[in-house]
Every structure is written in C-alpha cells, then in structure tokens.
C-alpha cells in the first residue's frame, strides 16, 4: 500500500529534501498534494515529476500561470490560503508534512489535525504559537504529531520504549550559529550575508537567521514543551558546535540517551515519514574518525538575549509565545531588508512582549488577534528604530 502524503511548502528547504527522500523509495509513497507560496516554476516541475492530485499556490496572482504550466495533466489547481485548508481537509492523504515557514503554517496544520491526519511537523512555529490548543485538539483526535525538527526527532527516538515519568530532563543541542565565537561587541555590525552563512546546515532564510540569533533554539524549547509535555525547567540548551549529537534525554536512574547522525535533515524527515519502521537508506554515514572531539558550552544569554526571551515567554504562557513569534518574524524580516541591526532584533521582540495585552488562556481567535496586533506593534517600533539611525 502506498502511503499518501500531502507536502505543504514543497518548494522550500525541507520541502525539496522531503521530495528527495520520497524519490528514493519508489512504490512506498504517493504524493497527493504539493503547495508553495509563489514559486510557480519549481512547483510546476515538482508536480510534473510527482503527479499529485492537487497543487495549491498561495499567491492568487500566480494561479493562471500555474494552470497554463500544468495544462494537459489531471492535476487540480487551487490558489489562496483558504483553499489550502480546504484541500488538506478533503484530501485522502494519510500524512501531512508541514514545511511552511512561520505563522502561516498554523491554520493548515489545525485543518489537518481536525481531519485526523498524521502530522510530520517541521513548522515549529505552529506549536510555539498555539501549543496548548494543539495539545488539547490532539487529545481528542485520531491525529498525532511526529517531529521533523532534528533535535525533537532525536528526543523522540530516545524516548521510544521509555515511560514519560522516567524523564528527568532533556538537553537540546545547538550549533551556536555563525557568531558563536564572535566577540559580543562585534555582533551589532554583522551583515545579512554573514548571518545567512550557517556553519553546519543549509536552510531557508528565516530559520537561518533564527539560528544565528539563537531564537531558533528558543522556539525549539517551546516546541519541546508541547511535544513531550515537559516543564520549562526540564528543558536545557547546550551548545555543541559539531551538530552531530542531535539531543539528549536524561532519565531518572541517571542514564542518558542521545541520538547522533550527520547534520542532514533527510534523516529526521525519513524517520517521521516511516515511523514506527526504520527504513534502510543510502544517505551518507557518520564516520567518528572525522569527529575526533565533541565539545559542549553553556549558551550565552547575554550575548543572545532571544533564548532568554523565549524562556520568559514559555514561563509566562498564554498569548506570550504567540507575541514572541510574531515580533520575531517581523524583526527577522526587517533585518533581512537591512532596516535594523542584528542586535536590534531582540529589542523589537522585548518591546513587543512588554507593550501588548496579556491573555492567560487565549482561544484561536484571540491568538489571531494577538498575532495581528504584535506585528503592528513590532512594525511601528522598527520604524522608530530606523528614524533614530
């Protein structure tokens, strides 16, 4: 039986690597849905290769072009955000891999959970923004989440066969990004090009900037809370520049388990798609002789305040992680447009977190309003910062 997959965000870094994985196992998977924000050319090539039932392009102005490109095929073509949710809900895909970046992944993921689908979750922002709501939905649904994020896949693999009550704590490893060894007073003047130059991973722009600023690890701490039902104090972060140990679980008897592998997202993608099986793969192998030493450091939260801000948001709960996420998305976008300095990103986030109404138990519509407001506050603050220059 072919496993039917809906791949949301197929033209991005995770999306293209997922199709690479799928193409290595002919006869195992059937791609049902491919979606993209606006890259019609790549979406067309992918659709012609994998022949899904439907494709969705977010940008409605690209609909006609996509339709022309795919004429002569039986592929159904849709455009716009609402169509994405509808196509996901109505499709007979069993698994939905969410590789959309940012807040935009939230609604389609919720649609997939409501439809009882298995979620292979790359879009960590969904759990950051609405972890509590998603957890409640999962508890009354046939749906479940399998992590794609490499650290969370590592934890998930370490927990196989273990009981939740035996977890003492987990350690999420972080590469430290391109500025790990840069003196803190030089951080202000780093360029977009330097920030996009990650030492170990090739990823989309947003997560690459998040990795350089340590916000990625902050988002992952919140993601881990909801995936594994942990308290903030049970989640620690350790810098491990080699990116070979993807994370650790510490158990109540003093034992520690870790999962290791080369930094290659195709491994956690494959595991999420095939769990509980472990498929044989031709992916490059880890040779320990090439890694004679593993090193570990405490993260520097003064130099990288984003990690501290994420812990604060997690501890505060309610709509605070949603505010953190929205302000971060605007700050990253402003940094990528060279409107603000690297070190001003945490300023934007901290300001936004301190200047918006706190809601303890927000429902989905309150989160939507929070997201909208937080973006507005962050954008206004960014404009102020630019004027000050």
Q: Catalog residues that contact Mg ion under the rule CB under 5 A.
A: 149-151
Cα–Cα distance, 120 to 118 (Å, whole number): 7
Cα–Cα distance, 23 to 352 (Å, whole number): 44
Please say which residue, 79 or 373, places its beta carbon nearer to ligand NAD.
79
Cα–Cα distance, 224 to 344 (Å, whole number): 27
Residue 124 contact partner, candidates Mg ion, ligand NAD, none, CB within 5 to 8 A by sort of partner: ligand NAD
Taking CB atoms, the residue at the shortest distance from ligand NAD is 12
Please say which residue, 4 or 107, places its beta carbon nearer to ligand NAD.
107
CB 120 within 8 A of CB 273: yes
Q: Which residues lie near ligand NAD (CB under 6 A)?
A: 9-15, 36-37, 39, 58, 99-101, 104, 122-125, 149, 201, 203-204, 206-207, 265
CB 319 within 8 A of CB 370: yes
Least distance from C-beta 14 to ligand NAD, angstroms?
4
Please say which residue, 58 or 306, places its beta carbon nearer to ligand NAD.
58
Least distance from C-beta 321 to Mg ion, angstroms?
17
Residue 80 contact partner, candidates Mg ion, ligand NAD, none, CB within 5 to 8 A by sort of partner: none
Least distance from C-beta 172 to ligand NAD, angstroms?
12
Strand partners, 248: 171, 258
Please say which residue, 99 or 112, places its beta carbon nearer to ligand NAD.
99
Cα of 164 vs its chain's centroid, Å: 24
Please say which residue, 15 or 317, places its beta carbon nearer to ligand NAD.
15
Least distance from C-beta 81 to ligand NAD, angstroms?
6
Residue 299 contact partner, candidates Mg ion, ligand NAD, none, CB within 5 to 8 A by sort of partner: none
Please say which residue, 149 or 371, places its beta carbon nearer to Mg ion.
149
Residues 6+ apart with CB under 8 A from 79: 56, 57, 58, 59, 60, 62, 63, 66
CB 268 within 8 A of CB 149: yes
Least distance from C-beta 300 to Mg ion, angstroms?
19
Which DSSP symbol is given to 299? -
Please say which residue, 9 or 218, places its beta carbon nearer to ligand NAD.
9
Cα–Cα distance, 326 to 386 (Å, whole number): 19
Residue with tokens 């998040």: 210
Residue 25 contact partner, candidates Mg ion, ligand NAD, none, CB within 5 to 8 A by sort of partner: none
Least distance from C-beta 317 to Mg ion, angstroms?
22
Least distance from C-beta 218 to ligand NAD, angstroms?
12
Structure tokens at 29: 């998977």
Residue 104 contact partner, candidates ligand NAD, Mg ion, none, CB within 5 to 8 A by sort of partner: ligand NAD
- Give the Å distances, CA to CA, from 13 to 9, 18, 62, 296: 9, 9, 21, 27
Longest dimension (CA), the chain: 62
């Amino acid at each position: 039986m072919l496993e039917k997959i809906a791949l949301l965000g197929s033209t991005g870094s995770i999306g293209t690597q997922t199709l690479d994985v799928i193409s290595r196992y002919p006869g195992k998977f059937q791609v049902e849905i491919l979606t993209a924000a606006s890259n019609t050319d790549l979406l067309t090539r992918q659709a012609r290769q994998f022949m899904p039932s439907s494709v969705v392009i977010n940008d409605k102005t690209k609909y006609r072009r996509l339709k022309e490109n795919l004429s002569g095929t039986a592929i159904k073509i849709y455009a716009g955000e609402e169509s994405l949710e509808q196509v996901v809900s109505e499709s007979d895909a069993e698994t939905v891999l969410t590789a959309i970046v940012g807040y935009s992944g939230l609604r389609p993921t919720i649609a997939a959970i409501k439809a009882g689908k298995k979620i292979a979750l790359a879009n960590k922002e969904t759990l950051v923004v609405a972890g509590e709501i998603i957890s409640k939905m999962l508890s009354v649904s046939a749906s479940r989440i399998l992590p794609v994020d490499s650290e969370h896949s590592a934890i998930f693999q370490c927990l196989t066969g273990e009981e939740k009550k035996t977890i003492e704590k987990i350690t999420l490893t972080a590469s430290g990004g391109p500025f790990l060894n840069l003196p803190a007073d030089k951080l202000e003047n780093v360029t977009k090009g330097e920030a996009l130059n990650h030492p170990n991973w090739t990823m989309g722009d947003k997560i690459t900037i998040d990795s350089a600023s340590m916000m990625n690890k902050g988002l992952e701490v919140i993601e881990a809370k909801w995936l594994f039902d942990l308290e903030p104090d049970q989640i620690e972060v350790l810098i491990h520049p080699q990116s070979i140990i993807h994370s650790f679980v510490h158990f109540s008897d003093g034992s520690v388990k870790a999962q290791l592998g080369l930094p290659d997202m195709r491994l956690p993608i494959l595991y999420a798609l095939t769990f509980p099986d472990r498929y044989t793969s031709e992916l490059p192998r880890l040779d320990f002789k090439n890694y004679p030493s593993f090193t570990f450091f405490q993260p520097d939260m003064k130099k990288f305040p984003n990690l501290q801000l994420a812990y604060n948001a997690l501890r505060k709960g309610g709509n605070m992680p949603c505010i953190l996420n929205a302000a971060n998305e605007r700050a990253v976008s402003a940094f990528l447009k060279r409107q603000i300095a690297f070190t001003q990103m945490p300023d934007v986030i901290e300001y936004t977190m301190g200047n918006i109404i706190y809601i303890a138990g927000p429902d989905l519509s309150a989160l939507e309003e929070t997201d909208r407001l937080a973006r507005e506050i962050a954008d206004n603050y960014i404009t102020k910062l630019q004027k000050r220059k």
